[in-house]
Chain A
Amino acid sequence: MKKSKILLGVAVIAVTGFFAIAADHMDAPAVTGGSNDITDFYAFQGQNTNNIVFVTNVQALLSPTDTQSAKFDENTMLEINIDTNGDAIEDLVIQAIPKDGKMYFFGPIAPAQTGLSSTVRSTGMASNVAITAPGANAIIATNAGMSFFAGPRDDPFFFDVDQYKAIIAGTATGFENPGTDSYAGTNVLSVVVEVPKSMIGGSGKINSWVETKRKQ
């Protein structure tokens, strides 16, 4: 009994390690499969070339059925970090927190403090948007040149991760041609924010990254 439990534990760890390879999908034991698990982060010039778009996706590999019940966690803040002077320390943040069916946005604004702990910069409230229901048309809010979306989307990531895992495990020597997109047919929960470049430094280069932070 005890031995089989231990074996099961080893198997679970092995399986966790096996699946822990993607953009950032299910990347680490403490967050894998949780509502705080970041799957991907994108930053690109918008349709309006005066703007930058930030995309943060959470909750990996949602099937269409899973998507119907998938929810943003009201105790999890998504925080986009922006470094405008090249020291890899955030000078500005954009915070997104869900509450009662809406996603609330704050920033871009200087954080109260840098690093691992954050408080909501409520003086920097930017907007809020109703979270789009699965299957419904995308609900978009706009304010001061910014645009906001929150809700389920197709996972934009594409990768033959299954073949990569086989290569790492030593059971294959290379990729197949054509490969198979392991993320085809799956969804994520997305938060999309488009902001004028003038709000995040104006010109030159920025460094950016995204964090999930849990309310204590």
Chain B
Amino acid sequence: MKFNTIKITAIAALASLTAFNCSNDDDSNGPKVPEFAGTYVQEDQMARPAISTVFVSMGNKDAFNVTVPSKQAAGYQAAFQNKLLALNPGYTTNALGMDAATFTGALATDVLTVTLDGKTTFFDGTNVLTGRMLTDDVIDVELLLIFGGPMGTDNSTLSSDNVDANDKPFSNTFPYLAAPHM
């Protein structure tokens, strides 16, 4: 009898707790939101352009996409270095003064660094990796750092693709990207 009372009290307490939770949700401010319950599991990721596609071998691409950035350098720096030296067997240093280990160590943690204090650009001749603008010729920057050598003057037929801008102009106002081709 006493045990039953405890059980009923517990159920009542649980019920009131649940009711409180429900009403709490109902009381939340702002527009109604559809139900988005459940767990979402990672399938693809990217930060800097063309990192996975240039430096990760085909057999590792799916695995790289589900390796958190804080674990990428440990797992992939050596493979990135091998890939770099396969692409450019004559690599010594690049225009940033980075040797193969330093360069690939920086690349293997695939995050895009963004400054909150000024100009955001992949590379503009002065600022290096402070963001990525729509107009940045990121491929030429990467080709130059891979093939261009310490002065940026080596392998001139490989260090630029000679496509310097998008096929449509961007807008200065939100949402910045050009309207789709119709």
Asked if B27 CB lies within 8 Å of chain A CBs, one says no
Contact with A along B62-102 (1 / 0, CB 8 A): 10111011101000000000000000000000000000000
Q: Which residues in chain B, 37-63, are within 8 Å of chain A measured between CB atoms?
A: 37-47, 49-54, 58, 61-62
Q: Counting CB contacts under 8 A, is A135 at the interface?
A: yes
Asked whether any CB of chain A lies closer than 8 Å to the CB of B4, the reply is no
Q: In the complex where A207-B112, A209-B112 touch, is A117 in contact with B161 (Cβ < 8 A)?
A: no
Q: Which of B6-50 contact A (CB under 8 A)?
A: 28, 30-31, 33-34, 36-47, 49-50
**When the two chains form their complex, are residues A156 and B178 in contact, meaning their CB atoms are under 8 A apart?**
yes
**Contact between A42 and B132, CB atoms less than 8 A apart:** yes
Contact A211 B161 (CB under 8 A): no
Select one of A25, A87, A122, A210 contacting B36, CB under 8 A: A122
Q: Is B5's beta carbon under 8 Å from chain A?
A: no
In contact, A192 and B180 (Cβ under 8 angstroms): no
Q: A88-B70, A154-B181 are in contact. Are A77 and B40 (CB under 8 A)?
A: yes
The distance in angstroms between the C-alpha atoms of A108 and B50, with both chains bound, is: 26
Mask, A168-183, CB within 8 Å of B = 1, is 0000011111111101
Known: A52-B116, A135-B182. A42 touches B134 (CB 8 A): yes
A102: nearest chain-B partner, CB-CB: B34
The A29-87 residues at the B interface (CB cut-off 8 A) are 29-31, 34, 36-38, 40-47, 52-53, 55, 62, 64, 67, 76-77, 79, 83, 87
Q: Which residues of A contact B46 (CB under 8 A)?
A: 23-24, 27, 38, 40-41, 209-210
Q: Does A9 contact B (CB under 8 A)?
A: no
Interface size (A, Cβ < 8 Å)?
105
Of residues 123 to 182 in B, which have CB atoms within 8 Å of A's CB atoms? 130-134, 137-139, 157-158, 160-168, 170, 172-182
Asked if B109 and A88 sit within 8 Å, CB to CB, the answer is yes
Q: A192-B175, A214-B40 are in contact. Are A55 and B113 (CB under 8 A)?
A: no
Asked if A88 and B162 sit within 8 Å, CB to CB, the answer is: no
Q: How far is the CA of A169 from the CA of B33 in the complex (A)?
A: 50
Determine which of B33, B42, B133 lies in contact with A44 in the assembled complex, contact meaning CB atoms within 8 Å.
Answer: B133
Task: Point out the residues of chain B lying under 8 angstroms from A138, CB to CB.
Answer: 175, 179
Asked if B161 and A164 make an inter-chain contact with CB atoms under 8 angstroms apart, the answer reads yes
Contacts of B162 in A (CB 8 A): 160, 175-179
A-B pairs with lowest CB-CB distance, top 4: A174-B157, A28-B61, A209-B47, A213-B40
- Which B residues lie at the A interface, using CB under 8 A? 28, 30-31, 33-34, 36-47, 49-54, 58, 61-62, 64-66, 68-70, 72, 109-121, 130-134, 137-139, 157-158, 160-168, 170, 172-182
A-B contacts besides A31-B43, A207-B114, 8 pairs, CB < 8 Å: A23-B49, A23-B53, A67-B181, A88-B72, A119-B37, A156-B177, A158-B167, A181-B166
